[in-house]
Structure 1
């Protein structure tokens, strides 16, 4: 039986079928809508939740980053402060005894300073102890103290001073040395001789610490003297050393040569004491020499040729080449001076040599303490003696400890 469209309508018109259809359809649609809404809501809530959680994460991350940054800054600040404290503490703890002495040094007035030519007096003496001073600036420096103490001992310390009547104590000073220092040295009895600095090109200058050491070569120009005993400022003279002039005269008379040069080989006193003829680089702390302009010119010509000698040791390397033990190209002889006249590296572990040596090559300072406390005290009190001699009007008590 053919169904008409009306039948379909009628069918939908019947209450049951319509109600049954409508209910299921509505419920199904509503459920689907509800599910969709719920899903949308859940998605929305999830998105919001995730968004909120993400924002919290971002905020937390930013907060953590900020905290870390602050912590790092605090750590860096603490580190910098600790470095500053350590630096200050290091400098305070490492101030050596030179600092203790400098404040007592008398600065000589120079407002009525005589012209230095008047001090460069001609004494007609044929021998000289010679010390070089190149200190720059007006302030009290260690080497001015050391030089003054040596001059004082050579001229005024009874058991040390020269007993000869033909010896000058000369201080060779460069143009940068303050006038008040010249006055102080002159008042002690030193002959002042002005010289110019001899400097080398930076390509030749291997050790800037000793940049002025070539200047001492000008002692070879001082031909007014027959014999010069050169002394570095960082020496402690324990005994009278007048006999150094006799050594030079005796060798000249024996060899028939007019020239003479003597020095101790570079090395610790323990190694050198019984082997003074050891070959090797000489030590330029003490040298005995006959001044010759020819030698001076030779040395100036050789000095820039640093490939020929150990230029790290400046004039010491140069003189070791010129007065070499082997293959002597310059027809010069080198006398091996007894190491007792230039005791190097005398330490508490080899104090058996202490009473045997005449001169100790050592200066004051925290590094030098590692060598010998006894020698450090000796040097300290030799400077105190000089300071006291200059300040005769008042008693000065300075303790090493």
Structure 2
């Protein structure tokens, strides 16, 4: 896409986002948080009782075969592929779905082995921030969120054993100038870990190991679910210019967990995930590569994606 067209598209999305922000109103009050706002597909049973979960999100865009197929490939990689599947019983894989996802696709994902969780849209935002519902899922000690357009190169079990994810962090109430009175109260402690975004350190030419950056990608992050934090996120959404509405949920999270704020995000080890991935990332053992490899990216990585897709289809056809 030409640079001018990209710029125009970015401006258009920003105006749409600002319109949504204005239409909400500026009272500063967070919408009420009622629960549970999520449930298993076609079941009244509770979510599986494990200590940890890995989650991805599929919305109405699931009508697009590329994202639906990507979700199936991620499911296959995490649950079935011999070289990348989870090896412990303490981790549940959740596919979080918006109400707009066709029922037939939810059934297919269940057949593939995923735990399909239906969630309500975030009030007044309809799908834009729906994946943030995972902050409400306090059944789990930690949830690792992974965008569906991700290829896995190694098992992810050990990320939950990493020292940097073991403990909650105290909220830095001493940073009084960073605590806004028109936002809902912050919790006493929290956890949010993510990876620096290679978009800011060279994109496809980023060094390996990569440099740290001021902000993170929302395609791979870990949380300690907390309903008070979810309420805080909702309250921030109501404020104009508090965060850039382009790439909405990523910029919202980067604002709430900003480095100089009261809850500065924690850096996960670089070997867990890479944006703008290259063949060198894979060679150096990065466990997950975030890119729409069915559409773009280095050819060796696109070949890996095609191989995974073929494996996935053959696996389910053989059942």
Q: TM-score normalised by the shorter chain: which range applies?
A: 0.7 to 0.9
**What is the aligned partner in structure 2 of residue 260 from structure 1?**
191
**Is the 1:149–1:382 Cα contact (8 Å) retained in structure 2?**
yes
Find 1:233's aligned residue among 148, 151, 168: 148
Q: Tell me the TM-score normalised to structure 1 length.
A: 0.59
1:344 aligns with 2:275: yes
Unaligned runs of 5+ in 1: 1-114, 202-210, 394-401
User: For this pair of structures, how many residues does the alignment match?
Assistant: 259
Write the deviation string for residues 136-184 of structure 1: whole angstroms up to 9, x where unpaired. Answer: 57x5611111011111111111110111111101010111111111111
**Is the 1:241–1:358 Cα contact (8 Å) retained in structure 2?**
yes
The structure richer in strand per residue is 2
Q: Tell me the TM-score normalised to structure 2 length.
A: 0.73
How far off its partner does 1:314 sit?
0.5
Unaligned runs of 5+ in 2: 1-39, 172-187
Q: Distance in 2 between matches of 1:150 and 1:119?
A: 26
1:134 aligns with 2:64: no
**What is the aligned partner in structure 1 of residue 25 from structure 2?**
none
Q: Distance in 1 between matches of 2:123 and 2:309?
A: 30
1:123 aligns with 2:48: yes
Find 2:266's aligned residue among 304, 325, 335: 335
SS for the counterpart of 1:311 is coil
Show the 5 A alignment for 1:93-132: 116-118=41-43, 121-132=46-57
1:193 aligns with 2:121: no
**Is the 1:130–1:170 Cα contact (8 Å) retained in structure 2?**
yes
Q: Which runs of 4+ in 1 moved over 6 A?
A: 253-257
How far off its partner does 1:339 sit?
3.0
SS for the counterpart of 1:286 is strand
Q: Distance in 1 between matches of 2:164 and 2:44?
A: 28
SS for the counterpart of 2:71 is helix
The structure richer in helix per residue is 1
**Is the 2:168–2:191 Cα contact (8 Å) retained in structure 1?**
no
Q: Distance in 2 between matches of 1:215 and 1:320?
A: 17
**What is the aligned partner in structure 1 of residue 17 from structure 2?**
none
Q: Distance in 2 between matches of 1:120 and 1:142?
A: 31
**What is the aligned partner in structure 2 of residue 149 from structure 1?**
73
Taking CA–CA contacts closer than 8 Å with sequence separation of 6 or more, which of the two structures ends up with the larger relative contact order?
2
Query: Which structure would you say has the larger Rg?
Result: 1
